[in-house]
Structure 1
Amino acid sequence: AMPRVLPYYAVKCYPEPAILKLLMALGAGFDCASKGELDMMLRMGASPARIIFAHPCKRSCDFRFAREHGIQYTTFDTVSELHKIAEMDPEFKLVLRIRADDPGARVPLGLKYGAEVSEAPALLRAARELALECCGVSFHVGSAAKNLATFTNAIENARKVFDEAASLGYRMDLLDIGGGFTGHFDEMGNVMFGEIANTINAALAKYFPPGGDLGDVRVIAEPGRYFAETSSTLLTPVIGQRDRVAKDGSIHKDYWLTDGLYGSFNCIVYDGQNPEFRVIRSPIQPEPIDTRSYVSTLWGPTCDSADVVYKDVALPALRNGDWLLWPNAGAYTVAGACDFNGIEFTHPCKVYVWSDSVVDPPEDREEAQEQPQPQQTDAE
């Protein structure tokens, strides 16, 4: 879809060894943001030349590790970071991260990282005074971006920074267009990526044409969700339940699951996700007698009363041993989990499944469409 762009997978999104090894075998690079991620990828056999240390504010231990292991590329967006680089690893090839916000992105990033385009000249001059090598520009429009024009504007602004750098004697040759792409499939198994890809390709052709005055600029991206989101499905058994009578006399049901906000569902808090699910009935129990729907709450397993996955959703009556199946559970789920209460959220049981198709057969899709989804009810 984007023939000029080489993916550098965002390890933070889902550091699942099976995905990392597969992407490495396919020739991908890797976006690492810490000493730990660098160490993980190097131990797997990734070449330092295929890693970008894409964190604009690094710790001293990060610098030491990167220097000792030959990591060549890193990002920056402040004068403060330039002075740290000059002191701790002046051989780094520097990539200036600029701000490029999509206001409709699920997780905007510009408030924390990315220099304003107007700040770029001063940053480049500071790098020149410190005798540091600036080789490129990066940006990130935000996670799960929606506004296509944001990519065009960001690539245009990157070209402005390239031109400013050239006026100071730099010859940049790397453009990092970040991430923000989703990786869902349509009913035919095709990745729904066309509009974003077409927009990026057009902007690259306009502002960074091959063989243009900038030469052949190398273009990379930092996709995480695009590769990881649909790769995993989460299964949570029901381990407890309770009925309570509401003021109007109706029954409100509470269910306890084996995962919650401290585990894979941290994505609800930190990533703005609203996970979909379907009910899977226990194969060792008879078909349920009660087929009515009830206003229900899904609780996580910890002692924290804030550990609630969904409140007041319509669900059929569930039993201990029934399951909820959550698709598209790869991106920013278990990667952000912790083992609060001593519950091992960070080491879930994994079952690896191979399929010759990326979509379910039509009959399975029809069955899934009949399953209830987490819609808010009008109950108090």
Structure 2
Amino acid sequence: MAGYLRETDFVMVEEGFSTRDLLEELTLGASQATTEEVAAFFMADLGAVVRKHFCFLKCLPRVRSFYAVKCNSSPGVLKVLAELGLGFSCANKAEMELVQHIGVPASKIIYANPCKQIAHIKYAAKHGVRLLSFDNEMELAKVVKSHPRARMVLCIATEDSHSLSRLSLKFGASLKSCRHLLENAKRDHVEVVGVSFLIGSGCPDPQAYAQSIADARLVFEMGAELGHRMHILDLGGGFPGVEGAKVRFEEIASVINSALDLYFPEGCGVDILAKLGRYYVTSAFTLAVSIIAKKEVLLDQPGREEETGSAPKTIMYHLSEGVYGIFNSVLFDNTCPAPILQKKPSMDQPLYCSSLWGPAANGCDCVAEGLWLPQLHVGDWLVFENMGAYTVGMGSLLRGAQTCRITYAMSRVACYLKRPPSPLQGSSARAAAACRTGRGRRGHVQASVLWLGDHGHLVHGPRLHPGEHHVSGPRSPPENPSGAPEMPLGEVGKVASRGTLWPGLWCSLCHPSRSTCSVSAL
């Protein structure tokens, strides 16, 4: 990500990459740092983000993905998703500025906040962001005055009473009020182009999506009766971002596909999109936090000292992050973060009832309690997985810094063409990948595929190289990459494009002076 991420923030890891290995290296470096004390940092596996996207494309082939910036606005995530061709769902002016700064066009931005500041509406109007959402008359009136060229999407209420985060308590117009809102929009010459709904995260019932799609069909019919040309259906988000969720993403996708076939079949002229946040980033981010202080509290249990030879105790460990910052999910989602010890304890070490505390000067800043841990020390590191959603940018000011540093990692990349692997050229000592290039018959080039991770996951959707000499496509990994079929250049150009992930990847076919491909930047 040349010019966007500092080189020190990005690591191209070696083949055989594991989160554990990289974290061990990073925590060791943080512990030995002499210029500044590092008490917490994130490690982000961008490859996991990319794999999630291709899972999405496979499971919901009719749906265009928009990323909810509010969930995690870290530069690496935004840049990778932009290169993959995603749109962006923004909740305010700052988020619109952020994605436009990295080159996202206004046509790929949705201002998807049903309750907006007037100044932010004017910003959207000035910078060409035309797709906005609304769910009430007052919001419609604000848009009429401040953004008359806006194209509006009506947000309807959903049945998400069982969701962990009930968005219907805050957003969405009831079906009874939709006709009135559509009539007002028609009277004020406001273009209503679609319907959206928001199902809160952690919804245990996939049928909530089917019901909301059915409700959206009714609103489409209302709009058609009133003369609105509606052609956008926004499925919202709420999709799980971790393995082991009560309802798997694939199950939700199956229900959605069936409902779409019933109410919005292919060829009906409706563009379908979804706004995903947690789905993309939750499992991609791992947080490492060091213990900055500890306190042992003796328990008043008569007789126990004689039995064990020492007084029973509980241990309180203090961290630089707490529930008013990165661990806010303890308050809002009622979670109990489970730490992983960076140093593996021996089997014979005794365990103590332990608790983890944040830096706030009150008794509510408890990250976790009732944990049975071995004796730990100041400077030891605790690791927390699945920390990518609503954490970045939430670093506690109480620790003296606003945000935790993020180290982005990408596992090995290979471009399969014809020749045996050659090492990629890179400035990082850890950079290692493989590249296969070669010359075919004149006017032909072998199809190229970018692979990612320890198991060769496909990471790149169809995309022509800028020189139109090779293409990456969504296909199964070939058993023998050198035997991949050749593709005439004329046919290559017909492959649908979804964005390029590594614009710095060069091919010797395009640049004969280069004997191997090289990645100049992610």
**TM-score, length-scaled by structure 2:** 0.64
What is the CA–CA distance in structure 1 between the aligned matches of 2:230 and 2:347, rounded to whole Å? 68
Q: Is the 8 A contact 1:302 1:340 kept in 2?
A: no
Q: Is the 8 A contact 1:107 1:272 kept in 2?
A: no
* Higher mean C-alpha displacement, 144-153 vs 31-40: 144-153
* Letter matched to residue 405 of structure 2: C
Q: Is the 8 A contact 2:68 2:90 kept in 1?
A: yes
Report percent identity of matched pairs: 36
Indicate yes or no: 2:183 matched with 1:130. no
What is the CA–CA distance in structure 1 between the aligned matches of 2:121 and 2:358, rounded to whole Å? 39
Q: Is the 8 A contact 1:260 1:300 kept in 2?
A: yes
What is the CA–CA distance in structure 2 between the aligned matches of 1:359 and 1:240, rounded to whole Å? 37
Moved over 4 A (4+): 287-290, 356-360
* Higher mean C-alpha displacement, 246-255 vs 46-55: 246-255
What is the CA–CA distance in structure 1 between the aligned matches of 2:331 and 2:141, rounded to whole Å? 35
Q: Which has the higher contact order (CA 8 A, sep 6+)?
A: 2
Q: Identify the residue that residue 365 of structure 1 maps to in structure 2.
A: none
Q: Identify the residue that residue 89 of structure 2 maps to in structure 1.
A: 31
Other structure's SS at 2:141 match: helix
Other structure's SS at 1:233 match: strand
Q: 1:351 aligns with which of 401, 404, 407?
A: 407
State the shift of 1:275 in Å: 2.4
Residues 15-164 of structure 1 correspond to what in structure 2 (within 5 A)? 15-164=73-222
State the shift of 1:358 in Å: 6.3
Other structure's SS at 2:125 match: helix
Q: Is the 8 A contact 2:106 2:129 kept in 1?
A: yes
State the shift of 1:114 in Å: 0.5
State the shift of 1:63 in Å: 1.1
Other structure's SS at 2:406 match: coil
Q: Identify the residue that residue 277 of structure 2 maps to in structure 1.
A: 224
Deviation by residue 1:227-260 (Cα, 9 ceiling, x = unmatched): 0101110001112111111232531111111211
The answer for unaligned runs of 5 or more in structure 1 is: 361-380
* Higher mean C-alpha displacement, 304-313 vs 81-90: 304-313
State the shift of 1:317 in Å: 1.7
* Letter matched to residue 55 of structure 1: N
* Letter matched to residue 90 of structure 1: P
Q: Identify the residue that residue 14 of structure 1 maps to in structure 2.
A: 72
What is the CA–CA distance in structure 2 between the aligned matches of 1:342 and 1:293, rounded to whole Å? 29
Other structure's SS at 1:12 match: helix
Deviation by residue 1:98-143 (Cα, 9 ceiling, x = unmatched): 0113222221110111011111111111111111110000001102
* Letter matched to residue 124 of structure 2: A
State the shift of 1:185 in Å: 4.3
What is the CA–CA distance in structure 1 between the aligned matches of 2:373 and 2:159, rounded to whole Å? 38
Q: Is the 8 A contact 1:262 1:340 kept in 2?
A: no
Deviation by residue 1:1-51 (Cα, 9 ceiling, x = unmatched): 101101100000000111111111111000000000000011110010001
What is the CA–CA distance in structure 2 between the aligned matches of 1:232 and 1:171, rounded to whole Å? 41
Q: Identify the residue that residue 233 of structure 1 maps to in structure 2.
A: 286
* Higher mean C-alpha displacement, 104-113 vs 244-253: 244-253
Q: Identify the residue that residue 226 of structure 2 maps to in structure 1.
A: 168
RMSD over aligned Cα, in angstroms? 2.0
* Letter matched to residue 245 of structure 1: L
State the shift of 1:149 in Å: 0.8
Q: Is the 8 A contact 1:271 1:332 kept in 2?
A: no
What is the CA–CA distance in structure 2 between the aligned matches of 1:271 and 1:71, rounded to whole Å? 32
Q: Identify the residue that residue 258 of structure 1 maps to in structure 2.
A: 320
Indicate yes or no: 2:377 matched with 1:319. yes
Q: 1:262 and 1:334, CA in 2 relative to 1: closer, same or farther beyond 3 A?
A: farther
What is the CA–CA distance in structure 1 between the aligned matches of 2:301 and 2:179, rounded to whole Å? 65
Q: 2:361 aligns with which of 295, 299, 303?
A: 303
What is the CA–CA distance in structure 1 between the aligned matches of 2:411 and 2:335, rounded to whole Å? 26
Q: Is the 8 A contact 2:320 2:399 kept in 1?
A: no
Indicate yes or no: 2:336 matched with 1:274. yes
Q: 1:206 aligns with which of 262, 266, 275?
A: 262
Q: Is the 8 A contact 2:411 2:453 kept in 1?
A: yes
Q: Identify the residue that residue 245 of structure 1 maps to in structure 2.
A: 298
State the shift of 1:272 in Å: 3.5
* Letter matched to residue 343 of structure 1: G
What is the CA–CA distance in structure 2 between the aligned matches of 1:181 and 1:261, rounded to whole Å? 24
**TM-score, length-scaled by structure 1:** 0.87
Deviation by residue 1:170-195 (Cα, 9 ceiling, x = unmatched): 12000000000013347xxxx95211
What is the CA–CA distance in structure 2 between the aligned matches of 1:69 and 1:294, rounded to whole Å? 57
What is the CA–CA distance in structure 1 between the aligned matches of 2:334 and 2:198, rounded to whole Å? 17
What is the CA–CA distance in structure 2 between the aligned matches of 1:46 and 1:297, rounded to whole Å? 44
Deviation by residue 1:324-368 (Cα, 9 ceiling, x = unmatched): 110111011124x25433522x421222222357689xxxxxxxx
State the shift of 1:169 in Å: 0.9
Other structure's SS at 1:178 match: coil
What is the CA–CA distance in structure 2 between the aligned matches of 1:231 and 1:289, rounded to whole Å? 30
The answer for unaligned runs of 5 or more in structure 2 is: 1-58, 303-311, 413-451, 456-522
Bigger Rg, structure 1 or 2: 2
Q: 1:162 and 1:244, CA in 2 relative to 1: closer, same or farther beyond 3 A?
A: same
Residues 324-343 of structure 1 correspond to what in structure 2 (within 5 A)? 324-335=382-393, 337=394, 339-341=396-398, 343=400
What is the CA–CA distance in structure 2 between the aligned matches of 1:338 and 1:116, rounded to whole Å? 37
